[in-house]
Every structure is written in structure tokens, then in C-alpha cells.
Amino acid sequence: MAYWLMKSEPSVFGLHDLERAPDRRTHWDGVRNYQARNWLRDVFRPGDLAFLYHSNAAATGVAAIMEVMSEGYPDPSAFLSDDPHHDPKSDPANPTWYCVDLQLVRPLTRLIGLAEIKQNPQLASMLLVRPGNRLSVMPVTAEEWAAVLAMEQA
């Protein structure tokens, strides 16, 4: 079982939206980065857990825990001409982009802020805090996962 971190701008889709979604479940579509695509397509498995991370917001940080509910499958938004994530170069017969389904497990009792995460020596090597990292989907180690959750009580 693997752990992941998924970034989303709360003004576009955040914890609030996930809590209101049917079954508190969503299609995590629109990822347009090849490294992230490879993980979604090849590595994500049902039962994996993922942090929901709020990016580009007044308060950035880890907001919730989600569970992976599907294997990776072709991202339908790539084929919709009126979708903001439309990619005319993606061939439905050989899709470029993949997505997964995620379900809310629970919100964290408080937002674990990026600044706190950067200050935690246990999380110094977390991909999230690597300078210039622009991945919107990234793996989290079991140790990092536990260290973030330990901060929830602080």
C-alpha cells in the first residue's frame, strides 16, 4: 500500500468541495504532468491513501486524508473540447493522461501548514518541500505520512 499527496487549489477544488461531493468522492482529473501521469497510470492502487493539500491559497497545507478508490484510467477531460484541461493531442485510442477516483476518509482536525512542515526536521526530505518541485501528485513515504499525522495533535 502506498501513500500520496495531491495538490489542489481550494478556490478550484478543496476540502469543502470534497465534503459536499456525492459519497464524498471525486474524479481526480486534469493532471497534465508526465511524471504524475506515470504514477496515476502505473502505481496508484485502490486502498492507497492520499493527503489532500491546499496550494496557492491564503492557508496552504495538508487538509484531509483521502482513499484511492480505483486504478488509474484514461482522463475523460482530455477529450472534451470545452473542458479547460482539454488536450487535442491526446488520442482516445492511446490516451496521454490518466486520473483516479478518490474518496474522503476524514478531514484533519486542523490544517497542517506548509510552514510547519518545513520546520519539522523529520520532513526535511519530503518531496513537497523540495525547492522548485512542481508536481501536483507525488509519493509520500510511510515515515513522512506518520510524521505529518503526528503534527495534527500539536
Partner DNA sequence: GCCAACGTTGGC
The DSSP 8-state label assigned to residue 8 in this structure reads: E
The answer to whether 151 and 114 are in contact (CB under 8 A) is: no
CB of 33 to DNA, least distance (A): 5
125 is a site residue for DNA (CB under 7 A): no
Query: Site for DNA (CB under 7 A): which residue of 2, 21, 49, 135?
Result: 135
Least distance from DNA to the Cβ atom of residue 104, Å: 20
Binding of DNA at residue 60 (CB under 7 A)?
Answer: yes
Question: What DSSP state is assigned to residue 83?
Answer: S
Q: How far apart are CA 65 and CA 141, in angstroms?
A: 15
34 binds DNA (CB under 7 A): yes
Q: Which of 70, 114, 120, 149 binds DNA (CB under 7 A)?
A: 114
Only segment of 14-22, 64-72, 110-118, 143-151 that touches DNA (CB under 7 A):
110-118
**Based on CB atoms, which residue is closest to DNA, 12 or 47?**
12
Contact 102, 26 (CB under 8 A): yes
Whole-angstrom CA distances from 89 to 8, 55, 86, 140 are 24, 28, 9, 31
Query: Site for DNA (CB under 7 A): which residue of 43, 105, 115, 127?
Result: 115
Say whether residue 90 binds DNA (CB under 7 A). Answer: no
What DSSP string describes 110-142? EEEEHHHHHH-GGGTT-GGGSTT---SEEEE-H
List residues near DNA by CB under 7 A: 7, 9, 32-34, 55-57, 60, 89, 114-115, 118, 131-136
